[in-house]
Amino acid sequence: MIGQNRPSWVSSRPINTMYYTGIGYAEKSQEDYMKIAKRKALSDLVSEIEVKLASKSLLNTLEDNGQVSTSFREDIKVEAQRTIEDYQLVEAWENDTEYWVYYQLNKYDYKEKEGIRIERIQQKAYDNLQKARRQKISGNISGAIFNYVEGLKLIQNDLNKNLAYQVNGETIYLGNELYQSLLGAFDDVQLSAIPSSVKAQNFQAVKEPISLIAKQGAYSIANLPLKAEFTSGSGELNANLLTNEHGSAKLQILNVTSKQSRQVVRIKPDMEKLCAANDKMVRNLIRTIKSIPEAQVTINLEAQTLKAFLRQGQYGNSALIKSVKRILSNNYFNFVPNEASADVIVDLSEDFRKGGTVPGEMYNMKEYFTSVSLQIVKRNTQETVFQYSVNDQRSLAPESTSESTARMSASRNVLKKMQRKLIQELKKLQMTIDHSAVAPTVQPRVQQERVQQTSNTQTQGLLVPSGLLAYYTFDDGTGKNIMGLSNYNALVQGGHAPMVINSTLSGAGKSAQFNGDSYLAIPQHPIENWSAYTISAWVKTSSGGAILGRKAAGCTILGTTLQNQLFYQKRYSDGGYLTFDFDANRLLLDNQWHMITLTVEVLEYESRSKLFVDGQMVLVENTKMRGKIKSGEGGFIGYDPGAKRYFTGEIDNLRIYNRQLRENEIRQLYFKHQ
C-alpha cells in the first residue's frame, strides 16, 4: 500500500488473542530500509512471546543462586527471533519518507510446533547426558565435559523451561542435570606441576621443562587441553598444551620479561578448547564453573642488573633520548655514564628529512619523514641482541612552519608509536651476559662491521643465542636440541635413522648424513604460532630435498630442488598455503657446504620473507597477509611428507629462532665456519 492514508495498525497496535503481532518501521533514507523494518517487526513479535521462568528450569536455578543476570532472557529472545518461522506478512505501508510492515504468528500453531521441537531436543540432550556419564566413569574427563556441553548447546534456547524428561518412571530435569553434572566433572581431579618452583633470569628460558600431571584418583587423564598464563609477572610460555596418554604435558618457560623477584604461572584446563563452545549462552554457563582444578609454578628471579650505555647519533633529540631511556630503564636496564663499565651499548639514531609539498585549499603543507633506529649490542662480543626501528613515518606541517617546530611535532608522533611497540618487542628479548669475556679494543665506527666479523669468528661458544629455541649440531651422535628444550629433540623413527659422520664443515664436529630415505622426527614443531621466525642450516648436497619439513598441520618447509632452486612454504593462520621457488642464480647442488637461511616476519598488513645463501640475501618476498603463522603438530629434519621430498646429503648446525634474525647476525653465523 503506497501513499494512501495511514492504516489503523500504524497508528494503533492491533489486539488479537489468536496471534502474536509484530510491527516495524524504518526511514526510507536508510540503506536496506525494508530489511530494517522487517527485523524490527520480528523483534516486536518475539517480544510478545513471554519468557516465563519455570520453577524447575535451569535459568530459575541460576538466578536463585545469583549467578546469572537478565541477559539470559534477552539472549533467548534474540535467538528466538533468528529461528522463528511460519510468521505471515499481513500488510506493508509506505509514503515518501516512511516504510511500515506488519507481521503475525498464530499462537496455537507456534505452541504445537514448539512442543514437537522440545520433545526432539530433550531426547538428544539425554543421549549426551548418558554418554558423558559413561565417559566420566571410565576416566575420559575430556569426552565427558564435551558431551555435557553438547547437551547444554541443544537446550540453550530453552533454559527457562522445566524440560522434564521421563526415564523408567523417574522425572529428570535435563537443564539442571546437565549443568550440575558439568559442575561436578572435575570432582576428584588433581592437577600438579613438577617442579612447582624454578629459578630463572631476565630474558632467558628455563631450560628444563615442567611436567604437568592430570589425574582422577589413580587414573591418568589423557587429551586434556591446558592453559598456562602468568598471574604475577610476565613472560612467554609454550602454547597448545595437551596431556598425553599418561596424563602428562610439558610446560616450557621460554622467556621471563618482568622485574618481579617472585612470579607465578597458573595452569588449569582450557575450558574454551575443551568445550569448543562458540555460543554466547553456553560460554556464560561455563564461566559459572568455580571448582576447576589448577596448579601453579613459582618463578624465583635471580636478579641480573644489566648496565647500559647510550650512544646517540649525530643529531641528538632530547625528548627521544629521555623517552627511550625511560622505556629501557623500566625493562631491566640501568644506564651508566661511560661505555667501559657497560654490559650493552644502546645505539640510538634519528633521521629527519623533507619531502614534497602537498597543495591544500587554504594553504600548502610540507611533507616530512622521520626514521628512528635502536640497536642493543653486547659490549664484550659486539653481538647485536635487539633491534627496533621506525622507518620513514610521514608527517605534515603547514609550509610556513619552521623546520625545528615540524621536527618536534614529527618526533612526538614517532614517540607515541615507539611507546606502543617498543615495549612489546622488548618482551621478546632473550639474552645472557658473559662477564668473563674480554672486551674488544675500541675501534673507529667505520671499521665496526669488519671488526665484528673478526671478533665473532674467534669467539668460542654459542653465537646469536637470543630467541634460539632449537639448535641441532649432531656432535653427540644424536638429534638432541642442545638448547635444552626436550620437546624439540629430533628422534629416530623406525629404520629411517641418518648416519652421523665427522663433518668437513670448518669448526664443526659431526654432521647428519641423509641417504634419500632417512630423516629425524621432531615431536613438537619449534615454530609455534609466531609472528616471526628464522630457520638457518648448513647443507652439503648434490641433489637437494627438504631440510626442515612439516606434518600435515605444520607451518613451514625449507629446502632445495633438483632444479637448483630454493623453496619454502608457509601456512597462514586461516589454513591456506603458499609455496615459493626461487632460482638462487648460484650452484647449490655442488656437493660443497652452503648456509641457507630463511627469515619470516608478519607485519601489520603483510608477510615479509627473506632468503639468504652464505650470509648474502638473495630474495625478499612480500605477500598480503594478516595474523600469525599457523603452528604445527610436529616436524622433520630431512623430509617433507606432504611432497615426499627426502634430503640427500649432509645437514649441520640447524637453528630455529622465534624471531627474525638481522643480516649482521646471519653473517656472524656464516663467518663462524669460514
Q: What is the rounded average pLDDT of the residues 186-190?
A: 87
Among 74-83, 514-523, 534-543, which stretch is predicted with the lowest mean pLDDT? 74-83
Q: What is the 3-state secondary structure (H, E, C) of 156-187?
A: HHHCCCCCEEEECCEEEEHHHHHHHHHHCCCC
Confidence of residue 623 (pLDDT cuts 50, 70, 90): low
Specify the higher pLDDT residue, 153 or 486. 153
Q: What is the mean pLDDT of residues 419-435?
A: 71
Q: Residue 111 pLDDT > 70, yes or no?
A: yes
Residue 104 clears pLDDT 90, i.e. is over it: yes
Amino acid letter, 1: M
- pTM value? 0.48
Q: Which residues of 186-205 are buried (b: 16+ CB within 10 A; e: fewer)?
A: beebebebeeeebebebbbb
Q: For the residues 338-349, what does the mean pLDDT come to?
A: 85
Task: Look over the chain and give the mean of its residue pLDDT values, rounded to a whole number.
Answer: 80
Nearest to 159 by CA among 60, 267, 272: 60
pLDDT digits (tens, 9 = 90+) for 278-309: 666 677 777 777 788 999 999 998 866 688 89
Those residues with Cβ within 8 angstroms of residue 57's Cβ, 6 or more apart along the chain or in another chain: 159, 160, 161, 162, 163, 173, 175, 176
Residues linked to residue 164 through DSSP beta bridges, in sequence order: 173
Question: Considering Cα of 81, then 86, then 88, then 94, what sign does the dihedral take?
Answer: positive
The share of the chain scoring above pLDDT 70, in percent, equals: 81
Give me Rg for the CA atoms of the chain: 32
- State how far the alpha carbon of 41 is from the alpha carbons of 7, 10, 451, 659, in Å: 16, 12, 77, 54
**If residue 273 lies in a helix (H) or strand (E), which one and from where to where?**
helix 271-275
pLDDT for 323 equals 82
Mean pLDDT of 43-67: 77
C-alpha cell recorded at residue 110: 507456534
pLDDT of residue 24: 95
Bond preceding residue 359 cis, omega within 30 of 0: no
The answer to whether residues 26 and 40 touch, using CB atoms and an 8 Å cutoff, is yes
pLDDT (mean) for 326-338: 82
Residues 239-281 have pLDDT tens digits of 788 898 889 999 999 888 877 889 999 999 988 777 766 666 6
* Residue 556 confidence (pLDDT): 57
Count how many residues are written for the chain: 674
Q: 51, 70 in Cβ contact below 8 A?
A: no
At residue 535, does pLDDT exceed 80?
Answer: yes
125-134, 232-241, 261-270, 379-388: range with lowest mean pLDDT: 379-388
Say what the pLDDT of residue 571 is: 56
With bands split at pLDDT 50, 70 and 90, how would you rate the model's confidence at 440?
Answer: very low
Q: What does the pLDDT read at residue 219? A: 83
Supply the pLDDT for residue 58: 83
Pick from 140, 298, 185, 280: which is nearest to 231 by CA? 298
Q: What is the pLDDT averaged over residues 340-353?
A: 84
Q: Give the rounded distance of the alpha carbon of 50 from its chain centre.
A: 43
pLDDT surpassing 90 at residue 653? yes
Of 507, 463, 496, 501, nearest to 482 by C-alpha is: 463
* Band of pLDDT at residue 447, cut at 50, 70 and 90: very low
Looking at the predicted structure, is the pLDDT value of residue 633 above 60? yes
